[in-house]
Amino acid sequence: MMSQMPQPTALSRCPSCEEPLEAGDRFCGACGYDLSAVPAPPQDHPTITMNGSSPRPSEAAASLDWPLVPEPASSDTPAPVHRAADIRGLDSGGSELPHPDTESAGVQQPSEHPSGAQPSGAQPSGAQPSGVRFDRRPEPDEYPLAPPAGAPAGPVVDPRTADLGASVTPPAGTKLCVACRSGHVDSDGYCENCGHAQPRERDHMEQELGAVAAVSDRGLRHHRNEDAFAISSTALPDGSPAVVAIVCDGVSSATRPDEASLAASRAANEALLAALPLGTHPQQAMHEAILAAAEAVNALAEAPPAHEEHAPHQNAPACTLVGAVVTPTLLIVGWVGDSRAYWVPVDRATPPARLTEDDSWAAQMVAAGLMSEAQAYADERAHAITGWLGADAYELEPHTASFKPDRPGVVVVCTDGLWNYAEAAEEMAEVVPLDAAERPLHSAQVLVGHALDGGGHDNVTVAVVPFPAPPQGAGSA
């Protein structure tokens, strides 16, 4: 059905400029006035005509004494100015209206503004009011903001005009929004003022001890960081230092993977710090630490989640783990899953090495001789893990290995969020800065940056541990 177009009003002259019109005109040819917006002529008799002649009064209004505007004495004399107070008004029934300046009418003239100034919209003295109503209270130039419900007494900060760079101290136990710097952050991590989601504490984490450093980042595609790490140092019974680095990657398809990685990293670190000072061999201590981490993750399956509405389909929390213990003479690594450890010597003339073997579908295909490494890792099933920590793990097989490097270097302990962008040992060695042994934190930052520059498709976590363990690594941390 065609839409109905507005029909032009039959007029002889333009209501705006008095230009003669022709039949069918929709716009005035002189001033462009939209003739379709002109209402149809009324059926009753108007009280004022366009040509200035006196109308014939209707029977209902014949007895009313309407005020008439006198004709000007000459065309050169301007029309007299009439104000509302100068004209006697009658209502539609013929009764006289109250005078505009009477107190009983509740009318307030411009000079009655409480501040003594004219309200917004009032005309200056001597000017004719146009569209100004005097039957309402004058409005203030500014409206003060009402304090939020439950807010303590005191001045209210207007976020529209507040200095966002100024330091605003929130009430105890609350945080200010990083976006608007004026709203408080609720328990769900969102600003109560602008609704901006706040960065989580684990979105980016950095830690540095004298002999080890680690960095973890959420990456560019994930909504949260499901990785975790723990670094520490202690002393062996002979007083020599032992440096520990644990890195865990939560299994995204499992429930609460972020909790699993955090529990596993903490449990493994605590187990190593308890066993190494007692003289337990570092390789045996690493094996027991992985078992302790597995128990911590298994315990999560028995505890209800904090927010059941966010996880309607429950399964057991799970994660992978890789760890390293560095002493003055030994390098111990342990792992379950596909997180890795690499050896990168300080002298880049000697070859680097990967110290772990993945618990993954691709690694199994290569070990069985069914595929080459290039073919296996090109398959879409390559990163399907066959070993993990969790209550639904088929069989827990902790892997440990002991090495005695004959030269100084660094151990890179990382999740697949990094090695996806530097898979081969030679590729990893190219990314590791030459001064990694002296600046482990800087090196960890560079490695995380490399993954983010490559796309950051996954969470990225890396720990850099110099070998041999320097003397300043002694002491518990």
Radius of gyration from C-alpha coordinates of the chain: 41
CA distances from 465 to 44, 51, 362 (A): 97, 98, 28
Tell me what pLDDT residue 134 has: 42
The percent helix, strand, coil of the chain (3-state, each to 5) is 20, 20, 60
Burial of 4 (0-12, 13-18, 19+ CB in 10 A): exposed
pLDDT of residue 5: 43
Strand partners, 360: 385
Q: Is 249 exposed, middle or buried (0-12, 13-18, 19+ CB in 10 A)?
A: buried
- What does the pLDDT read at residue 114? 40
Q: DSSP secondary structure string, 242-293?
A: EEEEEEEEE-TTSSSHHHHHHHHHHHHHHHHHHHGGGT--HHHHHHHHHHHH
Nearest-angstrom CA–CA distance, 327 and 277: 12
**Residue type for position 325:** V
Contact 227, 247 (CB under 8 A): yes
**Can you tell me which residue has the tokens 């109560």?**
192
Determine the Cα–Cα distance for residues 259 and 139; give it in Å rounded to an integer: 56
**Residue 439 neighbours by CB under 8 Å, 6+ apart:** 433
Q: Is the pTM of this model over 0.85?
A: no
pLDDT at position 109: 40
CB contact at 8 A, 296 and 266: yes
Task: Give the CA diameter of the chain.
Answer: 121
Q: Give the whole-angstrom CA distance, residue 460 versus residue 248.
A: 10
- Residue 48's pLDDT is 39
Q: H or E stretch including 453?
A: helix 440-453
Predicted local distance difference test score (pLDDT) of residue 84: 47
**What per-residue confidence (pLDDT) applies to 211?**
85
pLDDT at 209: 93
Burial of 352 (C-beta count, 10 Å sphere; 0-12/13-18/19+): buried
pLDDT of residue 188: 72
What's the pLDDT score for residue 24? Answer: 73
Closest to 422 in 3D by CA, of 344, 337, 334, 319: 344
pLDDT at residue 468, as a whole number: 95
pLDDT in tens, the chain (477 residues): 444 444 444 567 777 777 787 777 777 777 777 777 655 554 544 443 344 444 454 454 444 444 454 555 555 555 555 454 554 444 545 566 555 444 444 444 434 444 444 444 444 444 444 443 344 445 455 545 555 555 555 555 554 455 544 445 666 667 788 667 788 888 777 788 888 777 778 899 999 998 899 999 999 988 899 999 999 999 999 999 999 999 999 999 899 999 999 999 999 999 999 999 999 999 999 999 999 999 999 999 987 655 544 545 678 999 999 999 999 999 999 999 999 999 999 999 999 999 999 999 999 999 999 999 889 888 989 889 999 999 998 889 999 999 999 999 999 999 999 999 999 999 999 999 999 999 999 999 999 999 999 999 999 999 999 999 987 544 444
